[in-house]
Amino acid sequence: MKQAFILLVFLVVSCGRGNPGDGMESGTDKYEWSILQNLEYQNRDVNNLKFSIIEKYNYAIAQVPNESGVGAFYIMLNPKAPPFYKQMPSKQYSLSDERFSVIQSHPKTITTVEMAVRSHVAE
């Protein structure tokens, strides 16, 4: 009986630890999304934003103005947790070669982001 109780306690404790996740549930992933959400919220009604690379909390983030001239969307260039391409808000877009070159040449841009952004370069 005592052995069964010890086994039960062991199973509860070991199962309770759980899987910390693949990163999409991690604190780092949520933190990265919150940075993008904050930027998007602060600038959603701002007119005539410029394309730029913003350094915030040790992350590099591309600010890409919306075609309407109001607000922008944001691409994290160096996420540390999956998914390794984060964009806020999610939308279709196209980039000029010049803007892609700025993103590609930024020292913090990871290859996953570079490849994803390259697929949006206007032909």
For 92, which DSSP code? -
What integer pLDDT is reported at residue 8 of this predicted model? 53
Nearest in space to 49 (alpha carbons), one of 74, 18, 31: 74
- Answer whether residue 8 is part of any domain: no
- Answer whether residue 16 is part of any domain: no
- Answer whether residue 14 is part of any domain: no
- What whole-number distance in Å separates Cα of residue 73 and Cα of residue 62? 8
What integer pLDDT is reported at residue 26 of this predicted model? 84
Taking phi over 0 as left and psi of -120 to 50 as alpha, with beta for the rest, 47 belongs to: beta
Q: What is the pLDDT of residues 15-47, one digit of tens each?
A: 544 445 556 678 999 999 999 999 999 999 999
What integer pLDDT is reported at residue 113 of this predicted model? 98
Domain holding 72, by residue range, is 23-118
- Answer whether residue 33 is part of any domain: yes
pTM: 0.81
Q: What is the pLDDT of residues 80-120, one digit of tens each?
A: 999 999 999 999 999 999 999 999 999 999 999 999 999 99
Number of domains in the chain: 1
Tokens for 31, please give them.
């933190």
- Answer whether residue 53 is part of any domain: yes
SS3 40: helix
- Answer whether residue 51 is part of any domain: yes
- Listed in sequence order, the residues at least 6 apart from 66 whose beta carbon sits closer than 8 Å to its beta carbon are 72, 73
